[in-house]
Amino acid sequence: MVRDLSFIDEEKSCPHCKNKLSCCEAPPIHVGDGLGWGSEVMFICLNDACSLFLRGWDQIELKYGHHASYRYMELPGSPEGNLMMVGNADAFKACVINKEVLLAQNERYYKEKEAVEGLKTCLEKNDPQPVMTLLLDEAANKNDRLVALEYLKKLNDVKCIDPLRNHRFRDPAMEFAVRQVLESILNANFKKECPHCMEIIKAQAKKCMFCKENL
């Protein structure tokens, strides 16, 4: 999922308590009400000592006869203040956005997109980078990773072996398929894994050049 992250550097504060507003995921919208926030995120004052929040309980009790209060809210890119009705003090606290996580997710997404694009020309350029990016990214699209696996075999590049051998695949079927391709790359390059130290050595070696064990 790609999203507009222009809100990420916005700093907003509550006019009632001066506290910094928290950036939260917007609640899902009821399709029928035609309202919608027009935004995936909103900035909310989650200060439990905020005067608006403290006064709200009595105001709503008097006006509507139910147990709720208000939180101060602004949408990204707008200075306009809104009131959000909340049923308890914890509402929205679990939806606060972790900006670092969000930026990392976005960066991963762009790298994946770039790699999928790079797959188209990786064979003619003899460039294993897009293939490696997708195979090493557990969050990447499975079909794209399977295409990458096909190209891994065609690229037949010994340099690809170590990072993939050391990667922990979440999907055992994917891991098995990758291992098979690595095996075929080793064979095609007259290489093997040393059974003692797992380093890649010549297929016909009698002694490992890394651990010096006899084979």
Q: Which is nearer to Zn ion, 16 or 145 (CB)?
A: 16
Please name which of 41, 107, 111, 44 lies closest in space to residue 74, comparing C-alpha atoms.
44
Min separation Cβ 28 and Zn ion, Å: 24
Min separation Cβ 182 and Zn ion, Å: 17
N-term to C-term CA, the chain = 50
Question: Of the ranges 48-56, 92-100, 121-129, 160-168, which one interacts with Zn ion (CB under 5 A)?
Answer: 48-56
Judged by CB under 5 A, does residue 211 bind Zn ion?
A: yes
Min separation Cβ 166 and Zn ion, Å: 16
Q: Using CB atoms within 10 A of its CB, is residue 175 exposed (0-12), middle (13-18) or buried (19+)? A: middle
Q: Which is nearer to Zn ion, 8 or 194 (CB)?
A: 194
Judged by CB under 5 A, does residue 196 bind Zn ion?
A: yes
Min separation Cβ 77 and Zn ion, Å: 20
Exposure string of 138-164, with b = 16+ CB inside 10 Å and e = fewer, is eebeeebbebbbebbeebeeeebbeeb
Q: Are 112 and 5 in contact (CB under 8 A)?
A: no
Min separation Cβ 5 and Zn ion, Å: 25
Judged by CB under 5 A, does residue 210 bind Zn ion?
A: yes
Q: Which of 17, 136, 186, 200 binds Zn ion (CB under 5 A)?
A: 17
For residues 89 and 58, what is the distance between their CA atoms, to the nearest angstrom? 14
Judged by CB under 5 A, does residue 16 bind Zn ion?
A: yes
Exposure string of 93-115, with b = 16+ CB inside 10 Å and e = fewer, is eebebeeeebeebbeebeebeeb
Question: Of the ranges 24-32, 50-58, 105-113, 132-140, which one interacts with Zn ion (CB under 5 A)?
Answer: 50-58
Q: Which of 102, 174, 194, 200 binds Zn ion (CB under 5 A)?
A: 194
Judged by CB under 5 A, does residue 45 bind Zn ion?
A: yes
Min separation Cβ 195 and Zn ion, Å: 8
For residues 187 and 177, what is the distance between their CA atoms, to the nearest angstrom? 16
Judged by CB under 5 A, does residue 14 bind Zn ion?
A: yes
- H/E stretch holding 44 reads strand 41-44
Judged by CB under 5 A, does residue 55 bind Zn ion?
A: no
Q: Using CB atoms within 10 A of its CB, is residue 200 exposed (0-12), middle (13-18) or buried (19+)? A: middle
The residues that touch Zn ion, with contacts defined as CB under 5 A, are: 14, 16-17, 45, 47, 50, 194, 196-197, 208, 210-211
